[in-house]
């Protein structure tokens, strides 16, 4: 039975799942409610985006006289329904800062691959980072691909252009001794349980800050990750769902982690008493001193101070995630298990990130296999070994030999 929905205004749409598992989207056009059903939510989003674009566009495309500025602005508005708020604001900011000022006056039909390549070259010459340039390309490629779908242009001019190569920041990981030094330094920190969870599970910073006590199953020693904190420009900090289905995951905690959380819960009760009426209960495991979501910048300051105290190499908080992954893999935890713990969409992502560790483990693997085979061979009776050797080396006569 479908739930009743409130009547929406002209051009507003809704998407919901029906009891049979299919998805339906509805849109009001000129006072009439039209519907579309599909097997997946993404199909409904595509249909709704297309219909809203056609309904809301405030320009006449006849003769190809639509500027990229007009098109990008409308595409962003209609694309908002299918992307995260943070992604939308990032796309909008890059479009307004780089794309529209330099390419905005160009008609869609006059936009060619060389224009776009020159645009990227100009950005790089002006000192814009490679990552920002590649994000501009993602925006242009996605927007112009939709323009092809609409029939506004016959081909995507952003397709096949040469992009500057992006080299991500090199990850820094700690060894066992450095991890021990850090955890010892963190013993006196209010965030020591947080750091323990970060290193033993490899959770992202936003996931840790978003944890609630209701996510924790004390009996089974498991914690459910189903939200993360994210900063949206103009809206402050807010909780959002993980990007992928694999991001919503359950992690089994060790007894050391559970002990750290029990102690942390006792300490939190004291913090609540001190805060009194100022405490805002959000059920967060790691809130600030008043119960509100912890500001990542404050955590970063505390983390940096501990690095100095422990005389450890300066790394990012996110490198604790890389450290956790390397410790797991170096201690023989299968890659597919590590991938699930980290919440990667597929194991190939884990392999791409940490495949270099396997090269370091090849020598150890060869040593283990050599010892294994040697021990098996040593257990065989001596005569069987000799018989096997004679069987392999003795010549085999396949024809009748003449006597000398």
The CB-based long-range contact list for 231-238 (8 Å cut-off, 24+ gap) reads: 231/86, 232/85, 232/86, 232/89, 233/86, 233/89, 233/93, 234/89, 235/85, 237/293, 237/295, 238/85
Residue 308 exposed, middle or buried by CB count within 10 Å (0-12, 13-18, 19+):
exposed
**pLDDT tens sequence across 1-42:** 344 343 343 445 678 888 888 888 887 765 667 788 888 888
Q: Alpha carbon 66 to chain centroid distance?
A: 36
Separation CA 168–CA 62 (nearest Å): 43
Predicted confidence (pLDDT) per residue in 266-324, tens digit: 999 999 999 999 999 999 999 999 999 999 999 999 999 999 999 999 999 999 999 99
Rounded Cα–Cα distance for residues 354 and 319 (Å):
13
Six token digits for residue 77: 């508005």
Q: Which of 152, 180, 133 is nearest to 54 (CA)?
A: 152
- How far apart (Å, rounded) are the C-alpha atoms in residues 297 and 107? 43
In this prediction, residue 234 carries a pLDDT of 64
Phi, psi (degrees; rounded to nearest 5) at 237: -85, 140
Strands 32-38 and 216-217: unpaired
| Residue 113 vs residues 72, 119, 129, 160, 325: alpha-carbon distances, Å | 17, 10, 21, 8, 41
CATH number of 176-358: 1.10.443.10
- The rounded distance, in Å, linking the Cα atoms of 302 and 306 is 6
Cα 395 to Cα 147, 389, 390: the distances in Å are 75, 12, 9
Rg, Å, the chain Cα set: 30
Residue spans of the domains in the chain: they are 13-150, 176-358
Q: What is the pLDDT of residue 33?
A: 73
pLDDT at 404: 45
What pLDDT is attached to residue 37? Answer: 85
Strand, coil or helix: 395: coil
Cβ neighbours of residue 326 closer than 8 Å, sequence gap 6 or more? 173, 354, 357
The CATH number that domain 13-150 falls under is 1.10.150.130
Distances (CA, A) of 268 to 169, 172, 254, 265, 285: 36, 32, 21, 5, 9
Q: What is the reported pLDDT for 387?
A: 56
Q: How far is CA 167 from the centre of its chain?
A: 18
Report pLDDT for 36. Answer: 81
Which stretches of the chain drop beneath a pLDDT of 70? 1-13, 29-32, 50-64, 168-169, 232-235, 358-365, 376-404
Report the sign of the C-alpha dihedral through residues 235, 238, 241, 244, in that order.
positive
pLDDT reported for residue 235? 66
């Amino acid at each position: 039975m479908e739930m009743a929905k409130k009547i929406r205004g002209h051009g507003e749409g809704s998407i919901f799942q029906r009891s049979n598992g299919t998805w339906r989207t509805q849109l009001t056009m000129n006072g009439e409610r039209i519907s579309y059903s599909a097997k997946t939510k993404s199909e409904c989003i595509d249909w709704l985006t297309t219909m809203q674009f056609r309904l809301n566009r405030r320009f006449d495309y006849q003769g190809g006289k639509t500027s990229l500025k007009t098109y990008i602005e409308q595409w962003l508005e209609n694309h908002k329904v299918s992307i995260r708020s943070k992604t939308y604001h990032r796309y909008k900011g890059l479009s307004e800062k780089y794309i529209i000022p330099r390419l905005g006056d160009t008609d869609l039909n006059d936009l060619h691959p060389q224009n776009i390549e020159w645009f990227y070259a100009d950005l790089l010459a002006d000192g814009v980072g490679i990552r920002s340039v590649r994000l501009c390309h993602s925006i242009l490629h996605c927007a112009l691909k939709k323009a092809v779908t609409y029939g506004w242009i016959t081909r995507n001019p952003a397709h096949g252009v040469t992009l500057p190569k992006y080299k991500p920041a090199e990850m820094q990981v700690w060894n066992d001794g450095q991890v021990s030094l850090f955890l010892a330094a963190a013993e006196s920190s209010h965030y020591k349980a947080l750091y323990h969870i970060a290193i033993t599970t490899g959770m992202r910073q936003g996931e840790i800050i978003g944890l609630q006590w209701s996510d924790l199953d004390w009996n089974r020693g498991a914690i459910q990750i189903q939200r993360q904190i994210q900063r949206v420009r103009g809206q402050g900090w807010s909780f959002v769902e993980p990007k992928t289905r694999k991001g919503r995951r359950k992690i089994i905690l060790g007894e050391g982690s559970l002990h750290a959380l029990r102690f942390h819960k006792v300490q939190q009760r004291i913090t609540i008493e001190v805060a009194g009426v100022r405490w805002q209960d959000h059920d967060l495991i790691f809130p600030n001193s008043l119960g509100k979501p912890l500001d990542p910048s404050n955590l970063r300051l505390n983390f940096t101070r501990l690095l100095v105290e422990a005389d450890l190499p300066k790394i990012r908080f996110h490198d604790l995630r890389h450290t956790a992954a390397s410790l797991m893999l170096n201690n023989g935890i299968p890659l597919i298990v590590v991938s699930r713990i980290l919440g990667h969409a597929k194991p190939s992502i884990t392999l791409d990130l940490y495949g270099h560790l396997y090269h370091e483990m090849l020598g150890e693997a060869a040593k283990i296999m050599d010892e294994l085979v040697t021990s098996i061979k040593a257990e065989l009776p001596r005569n069987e070994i000799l018989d096997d050797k004679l069987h392999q080396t003795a010549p085999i006569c396949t024809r009748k030999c003449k006597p000398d």
